[in-house]
C-alpha cells in the first residue's frame, strides 16, 4: 500500500506534502527538513524512491518513512543547546537534521549496532559538510557516532535532554530508556506498537503520550555467547570547544548579522528565501486507516469525504495554474551563498578564510 502523503518530485515538494498533511507543524522542523536532502542518504541506484513517503532498507542501511521522522522531530521539541542521543542512528539523516537545530553548543551523539552503517553515516556527514549550502545557513552541531548495542550503554554515561530510539523497545527495557534522560528531558521511542513520547517531569515522575501506531523491528538483544561478558558502549565525551573554534563561531555569526543588516537596508525586508515557483496543487487522497511501509506500519490521516467531490474542480484549477505560469516559468538562478562570498571578500590571509569556511569544497 502507499504512503501517508503523495510522492514529491524533489525534497521541497516532499516537505510541502508533509506540511499539507500536518506531519510537519513547526517552522524549525520545516527548516531542518528542507536543509537536508533526503536523496543524499540513499545509494545512487535507489534515489528515484527518495521523495516517496516510504521506508527504505538495503542490507543494514535503513531509513524510516519521512512521515515517521516528521512526527519524531516534532515530538522531540528541539531547541538550541540541548543534548541529543540517537539510539540506532543509522545513516545519520535524522542526526544531521537535529544538529541544525541544536546549534554549535549542543551535543549530538548516536549509537549504531552495525559498523558498516557507521562508516556509511560518516561518509554522508562528510558529504553534507563539504558540499551543502545549508551548512552555511545554520550553526551546526556535528553528530558523533559510536558502534555498539544501545542496550549496553555504560551506566556511568551522562544523561541527555532528548533521546530517540529507532527500533521497537520491549516493555522490559522501558525503564532502561527512561534512565538515559535528564529531568525535564523527552524520550521518543516505539513502545508496544505505538510511537510514544515520555517526558521526565521529576526524578521519578513521567508523563506519557501515545503519538502514532507503528511497527518497528525490535531492538536486538545483546549477545554474550563469545566472551560471556557485556561489551559496554562508551558514549563520546562532552568536549569543551577550543578558543579558536569559539572565535570562528563568533566571527561567522557576526558576518551573518552584517549580511542581514545589509539586506534590510537594501530592500527593507531582510534576507528571505527567494520565492519558489508555484507548485502543482497537492490534493489530499483518501487513505486507508493502516499503511504498511516496509517494516513500519502506522495509522494514516483520513481525508474528508467532501474532498473527493472537489477533485474535478481541483484538476481544473491545476490546469489553469499551469497555463498561467508557463510563459514566465524560467529555470531559477542557483542560490547564492552570501556567507561564503562575504568571507572570501574579506582582506584576510587565505588560510584564515578557509578556516572560517571549514575548508568546504563549495
Q: What is the spatial distance between Cα 155 and Cα 145, in angstroms, rounded to a whole number?
A: 18
Q: What average pLDDT does range 300-324 have in this prediction?
A: 53
Q: Are residues 157 and 260 in the same domain?
A: no
Q: Are residues 34 and 167 in the same domain?
A: yes
User: Does the residue 290 lie in any domain?
Assistant: no
Q: What is the spatial distance between Cα 314 and Cα 317, in angstroms, rounded to a whole number?
A: 5
Q: Which three cell numbers stand for residue 141?
A: 552541531
Q: Are residues 188 and 252 in the same domain?
A: no
Higher local confidence (pLDDT), 267 or 228: 267
Q: Are residues 48 and 161 in the same domain?
A: yes
Residue 160 has pLDDT above 90, yes or no: yes
pLDDT interval class at 105 (50, 70, 90): very high
Q: Are residues 132 and 258 in the same domain?
A: no
User: Does the residue 247 lie in any domain?
Assistant: yes
User: Does the residue 112 lie in any domain?
Assistant: yes
345 in active site: no
141 CB-contact burial (10 Å; exposed 0-12 / middle 13-18 / buried 19+): buried
Which residues span the domain enclosing 354?
241-265+337-361
Question: What are residue 210's DSSP bridge partners?
Answer: 196
Helical H segments across the chain, by residue range: 11-20, 27-35, 66-76, 93-102, 115-131, 134-137, 174-178, 243-267, 306-309, 311-325, 338-345, 350-356
Residues comprising the chain, all counted? 362
Q: Are residues 103 and 154 in the same domain?
A: yes
Q: Are residues 174 and 245 in the same domain?
A: no
Count CB neighbours of 45 within 10 A.
7
**Catalytic option among 6, 64, 70, 89:** 64
Q: Which three cell numbers stand for residue 9?
A: 518530485
**Count of structural domains, the chain:** 2
Q: Are residues 198 and 247 in the same domain?
A: no
Q: What is the mean pLDDT of the chain?
A: 85
Q: Are residues 41 and 136 in the same domain?
A: yes
Q: 83-87 and 160-165: which strand pairing?
A: parallel
Q: Are residues 30 and 134 in the same domain?
A: yes
Q: What is the spatial distance between Cα 180 and Cα 196, in angstroms, rounded to a whole number?
A: 15
Q: Are residues 115 and 248 in the same domain?
A: no
User: Does the residue 2 lie in any domain?
Assistant: no
The string of pLDDT tens digits covering residues 29-76 is 999 999 999 999 999 999 999 999 999 999 999 999 999 999 999 999
Q: Are residues 254 and 205 in the same domain?
A: no
Asked whether 102 and 81 are in contact (CB, 8 A), the reply is yes
Specify the pTM: 0.81
Of 151-165, 269-283, 306-320, where does mean pLDDT reach its minimum?
269-283
Amino acid at each position: 500500500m502507499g504512503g501517508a502523503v503523495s510522492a514529491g518530485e524533489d525534497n521541497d515538494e516532499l516537505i510541502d506534502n508533509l506540511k499539507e498533511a500536518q506531519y510537519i507543524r513547526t517552522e524549525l522542523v520545516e527548516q531542518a527538513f528542507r536543509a537536508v536532502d533526503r536523496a543524499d542518504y540513499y545509494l545512487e541506484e535507489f534515489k528515484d524512491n527518495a521523495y516517496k513517503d516510504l521506508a527504505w532498507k538495503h542490507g543494514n542501511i535503513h531509513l524510516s518513512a519521512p512521515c515517521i521522522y516528521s512526527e519524531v522531530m516534532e515530538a522531540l521539541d528541539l531547541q538550541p543547546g540541548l543534548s541529543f542521543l540517537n539510539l540506532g542512528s543509522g545513516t545519520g539523516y535524522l542526526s544531521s537534521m537535529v544538529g541544525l537545530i541544536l546549534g554549535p553548543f549542543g551535543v549530538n551523539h548516536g549509537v549504531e549496532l552495525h559498523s558498516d552503517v557507521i562508516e556509511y553515516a560518516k561518509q554522508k556527514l562528510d558529504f553534507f559538510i563539504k558540499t551543502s549550502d545549508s551548512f552555511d545557513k545554520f550553526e551546526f552541531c556535528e553528530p558523533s557516532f559510536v558502534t555498539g548495542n544501545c542496550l549496553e550503554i555504560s551506566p556511568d554515561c551522562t544523561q541527555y535532554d532528548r533521546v530517540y530510539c529507532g527500533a521497537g523497545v520491549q516493555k522490559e527495557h522501558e525503564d532502561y530508556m527512561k534512565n538515559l534522560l535528564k529531568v525535564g528531558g523527552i524520550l521518543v521511542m516505539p513502545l508496544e506498537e505505538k510511537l510514544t513520547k515520555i517526558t521526565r517531569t521529576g526524578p521519578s515522575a513521567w508523563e506519557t503520550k501515545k503519538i502514532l501506531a507503528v511497527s518497528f523491528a525490535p531492538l536486538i538483544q545483546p549477545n554474550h555467547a563469545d566472551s560471556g561478558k557485556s561489551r559496554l558502549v562508551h558514549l563520546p565525551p562532552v568536549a569543551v570547544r577550543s578558543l579558536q573554534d569559539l572565535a570562528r563561531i563568533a566571527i561567522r555569526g557576526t558576518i551573518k548579522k552584517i549580511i542581514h543588516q545589509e539586506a534590510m537596508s537594501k530592500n527593507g525586508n531582510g534576507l528571505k528565501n527567494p520565492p519558489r515557483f508555484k507548485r502543482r496543487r497537492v490534493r489530499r487522497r483518501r487513505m486507508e486507516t493502516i499503511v504498511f511501509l516496509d517494516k513500519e506500519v502506522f495509522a494514516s490521516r483520513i481525508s474528508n469525504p467532501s474532498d473527493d467531490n472537489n477533485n474535478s474542480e481541483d484538476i481544473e484549477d491545476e490546469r489553469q495554474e499551469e497555463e498561467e505560469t508557463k510563459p514566465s516559468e524560467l529555470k531559477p538562478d542557483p542560490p547564492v551563498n552570501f556567507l561564503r562570498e562575504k568571507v572570501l571578500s574579506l582582506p584576510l590571509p587565505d588560510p584564515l578564510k578557509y578556516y572560517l569556511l571549514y575548508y568546504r569544497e563549495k
